[in-house]
């Protein structure tokens, strides 16, 4: 089955850290550019970070630059998001996403179910 499965979310205090994972199955992960998108409670979609298969990037939203790090382990078919210095406005469902079939690079037709990150004292 083609799918993305996120994990690692939870409750963390302001200033704390979390590491999210996204495990891929059913497609060629090593040949796929990957992206994290988040959605705050009752809010819209916000692009967070993307990593390509080659040497360009990675890329970050200004709101997370210097605090978040995206990485990948192709041998484990897993995407990561290391989140440091977390703030209340980082509270969101974090989705990993990719182009799987009909699409163009950096449009996303395969999404995980998301993992909830809550930053609160």
Partner 1 sequence: EIVLTQSPATLSLSPGERVTLSCRTSQSVSSFLAWYQQKPGQVPRLLIYDASNRATGIPARFSGSGSGTDFTLTISSLEPEDFAVYYCQHRSKWPLTFGGGTKVQI
Q: Which residues bind partner 1 (CB under 8 A)?
A: 35, 37, 44-47, 50, 59-62, 95, 101-109, 111-114
In the bound complex, what is the minimum distance in angstroms from residue 67's beta carbon to partner 1?
15
d(CA 14, CA 77): 30
Rank residues 75 and 101 by Cβ distance to partner 1 and give the closer one: 101
Rank residues 91 and 98 by Cβ distance to partner 1 and give the closer one: 98
Rank residues 18 and 97 by Cβ distance to partner 1 and give the closer one: 97
In the bound complex, what is the minimum distance in angstroms from residue 93's beta carbon to partner 1?
9
Contacts of residue 11, defined as CB under 8 A and 6 or more positions apart, other chains included, come to 118, 120
106: region left, alpha or beta (phi > 0 left; psi from -120 to 50 alpha): left
In the bound complex, what is the minimum distance in angstroms from residue 1's beta carbon to partner 1?
15
In the bound complex, what is the minimum distance in angstroms from residue 47's beta carbon to partner 1?
4
- Which helix (H) or strand (E) segment holds residue 110: the answer is strand 110-111
Q: Which of 27, 29, 44 is nearest to 95 (CA)?
A: 44
């Amino acid at each position: 089955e083609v799918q993305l499965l996120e994990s690692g979310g939870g409750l963390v205090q302001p200033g704390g850290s979390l590491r999210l994972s996204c495990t891929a199955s059913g497609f060629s992960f090593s040949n796929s550019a990957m992206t994290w998108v988040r959605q705050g409670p009752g809010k819209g979609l916000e692009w967070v970070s993307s990593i390509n298969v080659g040497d360009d990037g990675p890329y970050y939203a200004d709101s997370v630059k210097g605090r978040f790090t995206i990485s990948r382990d192709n041998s484990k078919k897993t995407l990561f998001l290391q989140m440091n210095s977390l703030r209340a406005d980082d509270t969101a469902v974090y989705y990993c996403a990719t182009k799987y079939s009909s699409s163009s690079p950096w449009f996303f037709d395969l999404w995980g179910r998301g993992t909830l990150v809550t930053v609160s004292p």
